[in-house]
Structure 1
Amino acid sequence: MKRNSTYIKILVISSIIAIALTFVQLPYYVTKPGMATELQPLVNIEGGFDEEKGSFMLTTVRMGRANVFTYGWAHVNKYHFIYPIEQIRYEGESDEEYSNRQLHLMEGSKESAIAVAYRHANKPVTFEYHGVYVMSVLEGMPAYQMLKAGDRIYQVDGQAFQTSDEFIEIVSKKQEGDQVELDYERNGQQETITIPIAKFPDDPAKFGIGISLVTDREISVEPDITINSEQIGGPSAGLMFSLEILNQLTEDDLTKGYEIAGTGTINEKGEVGRIGGISQKIVAAHNSGVEVFFAPNEKNSPKSNYNEALEAAKDIETEMKIVPVDTFQDALDYLNSLPKKND
């Protein structure tokens, strides 16, 4: 009986320690393959066409703070990657600020995707600008503890502006010791503050107040569109959103009956940009039965996302077709060349 009692005590203590260790966060993030998610249910265009025979899908990477177990597990799983915190988050950026930044990046990505698809379909597109959102504040710089992530700045030195580039241009003309007056909104309350200009600690030749920001703008299109991206963050679904949107704007089915996924940022010119974690997205797409995968080609760079995707596809022995794209038009050209499935 004593022996059994000892075993039970050891088991209970071991279980308590194991549970406790799951709550101990290490200074790392672990990423792993996510899933391929069909875009049609997320995109709703008033009066749009939704008779897809196949699917356009976005691919995701799952990411979380490492604990002892996920850190160890990542060392024995080929497509689980470990990153120090400083490679994921800005200096001084909290988990909440990081999540907020990723959601704003997704919003910008969706706006660019909408603009590209609607213009390609010869539909009207207009933007209304409202200033910039603060994404994060750099510790040790003048704006620290004066501004917060989520603040909306709408005037600089009494001057209205439209984009983050305009804001940066105004502030960058100032020198150390100068001041900048900002009108901003927080939780519905409007405030005005004066912040001194200082050197950035990691770049003494650069001056500013120490914030990262993103343009706050509202897109208007006809017909109306709603995109329910929920808590999906980051800009990497831009290309695939633009294809799904165009498919609902036009009568012909661009999917031709195929399961099509991909990744890549997109700007308003329709240029497709590099993203992170593409090998993990190849695994996710393969596990979801994807037949065609679009990958950023980066103008034939030997270290492009496309080449990394090819290596991963070969490694996991998938029959999925990996297609290089530099632009939205490249993806359309490939789709237009596809025969209808089962013809």
Structure 2
Amino acid sequence: MDARKLLTGGGAAGTAVRWGLLTAAVMALLLYAPTPYAAYEPGLAFYTKPLVRASNPDEPGTGAFMLTTVQLSDANAWKTIRSSWDGNLELVRKRDLFQGGSQADFMEMQTVVMRGSQTDAVEAAYEEAGVAYEIASYALVVSDAGSSSGAFHTGDEIVSFGGLPVTSLRELSLALNREAAAGQTQVSIVRQGRTLELAIRLPAEVIADQPALMVGVRKLTELRRIQPANAEDEVDIQAGEIGGPSAGLMFALQTLDELTDGDLTAGMRVAGTGTINAKGEVGAIGGVSHKVVAADRAGADVFLVPEENEQEAIAKAADIGTAMRVLGIGTLREAKQALEEAGG
């Protein structure tokens, strides 16, 4: 039969073909048409013990620590429509999420921030456990190049500035003071494994406490190496593809559990989220409702959350009807005490 007749003619066959083509067109539109949105959804919960490698680990307990994640993806037309009734699907404008940069820059920024967060987690655990250590910067990285089309890219490691070796913000500030009068300078960087030389212009006025602004980027991050006085206390965190700072609390708890006697989990499956600094202070995070769902799906008994996110987490836990307990904490020490009480 002639194909044109089949499409335009009457009868059941022609009608079926037209409906088939219409359905295919609608499905293609729903699945592949671009939108200005990205979508956040509940991710997975990962056991932290395989990611935290201690030289002399404590005997494993009966419980476990888990970090929680969110899933980030492009929102097609179908996801955009589905978000109107799916409480586990959150849309955000890409321009707001990426802040003028690309998705690749955003993911690179999350990787850099995670590297710094790991060191903070270990340092916080060392402080809580009373472990003696030394710490020093070994690299200075552009963690957010910003939206401008400048010389630097997110993820660039600054090796030297005006001929001076640079591994810290202090060393960069000293180099800036020396080079600012010239109005421009040469910078050596490592970008994706390749060493490059950049020529950059410098503002006439030196702003001593804002070296990132001086070199034309939004944020710089020092990567630091932490070395315990006793080699038996060495801890190395391998986060793999996990990015961002929000696993800091759970990495710190797992590290502390490896360094101290007993079972810090008190035999419970403990999920959680939260940034942490070297002082052990826990900071707020985004996407907490999605992480509550991820923790519940993983069978967690307890969900640790920063105090600032506690009410949102409690509301989501009630919404999904979980028996999992939500505990808001402000420091690593408070997290330790909360687990002791919950397990008692």
Cα distance between partner residues in 1 of 2:164 and 2:180? 18
1:45 matched to 2:54:
yes
Residue 55 of structure 1 contacts residue 260 of structure 1 at CA under 8 Å; is this kept in 2? yes
Could you tell me the percent identity over the aligned residues?
30
Count of paired positions: 324
95 and 122 in structure 1: CA distance in 2 versus 1, 3 angstrom threshold: same
- When normalised by structure 1's length, the TM-score is 0.83
1:113 matched to 2:117:
no
Cα distance between partner residues in 1 of 2:31 and 2:203? 43
Which letter maps to 1:332? K
Counterpart for residue 275 of structure 1: 285
50 and 228 in structure 1: CA distance in 2 versus 1, 3 angstrom threshold: farther
Cα deviations by residue, 1:62-114 (Å, 9 ceiling, x for unpaired) = 111111111111121123111111321122x1111111111111111111111
Cα root mean square deviation, aligned: 3.0
1:147 matched to 2:152:
yes
Quote how far apart the aligned CAs of 1:282 are. 1.4
Quote how far apart the aligned CAs of 1:115 are. 1.4
3-state secondary structure, aligned to 2:311: helix
Cα distance between partner residues in 1 of 2:285 and 2:178? 32
- When normalised by structure 2's length, the TM-score is 0.83
Counterpart for residue 202 of structure 1: none
Which of the two has higher C-alpha Rg?
2
1:293 matched to 2:303:
yes
Of 206, 220, 242 in structure 2, the residue corresponding to residue 213 of structure 1 is 220
Cα distance between partner residues in 2 of 1:216 and 1:311? 37
Residue 186 of structure 2 contacts residue 197 of structure 2 at CA under 8 Å; is this kept in 1? no
Counterpart for residue 189 of structure 1: 195
1:125 matched to 2:133:
yes
Q: Which has the higher helix share?
A: 2
Structure 2 unaligned regions, length at least 5: 1-9, 206-211
3-state secondary structure, aligned to 2:225: strand
1:54 matched to 2:63:
yes
Structure 1 unaligned regions, length at least 5: 200-205, 298-303
1:323 matched to 2:291:
no
Counterpart for residue 6 of structure 2: none
Comparing 182-191 with 308-317, greater Cα deviation is found at: 182-191
Which letter maps to 1:193? A
Cα distance between partner residues in 2 of 1:6 and 1:230? 53
Quote how far apart the aligned CAs of 1:138 are. 3.5
Cα distance between partner residues in 2 of 1:169 and 1:322? 47
